[in-house]
């Protein structure tokens, strides 16, 4: 009985940690895809556009001094990655 209680406590504490780690990894992956999208947009010399990766839509806008990529997180919160462009 004690063994079952210990296993229950360990697994009950471990599952939320693993879920949180998975969410953090997904957010970092989306941020990396946004940076990659900014790079590809600069190569295309297109002032605005969209690109879909793994079901997430990344939209970019190219300004005179920087490019910004916008996307939604897993919680449907808008995030952006902006990169300064030097001439």
Handedness of CA 49, 27, 35, 44 (dihedral sign): negative
Q: Are 35 and 69 in contact (CB under 8 A)?
A: yes
Output b/e per residue, 22-52; b: 16+ Cβ within 10 A. eeeeeeeebbebbeebbeebeeeeeeeeebe
Query: What is the chain's pLDDT, residue by residue, as a tens digit (87 residues)?
Result: 788 888 777 777 888 888 999 999 999 999 999 999 998 988 888 889 999 999 999 999 988 889 999 999 888 899 999 998 876
pTM above the 0.85 mark?
no
Residue spans per domain, the chain: 2-84
């Amino acid at each position: 009985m004690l063994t079952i209680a210990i296993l229950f406590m360990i697994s009950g504490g471990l599952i939320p940690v693993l879920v949180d780690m998975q969410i953090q990894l997904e957010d970092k992956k989306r941020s990396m895809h946004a940076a990659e999208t900014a790079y590809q947009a600069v190569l295309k010399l297109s002032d605005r556009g969209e690109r879909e990766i793994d079901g997430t839509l990344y939209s970019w806008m190219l300004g005179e001094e920087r490019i910004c990529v916008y996307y939604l997180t897993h919680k449907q919160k808008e995030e952006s990655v902006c990169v300064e462009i030097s001439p």
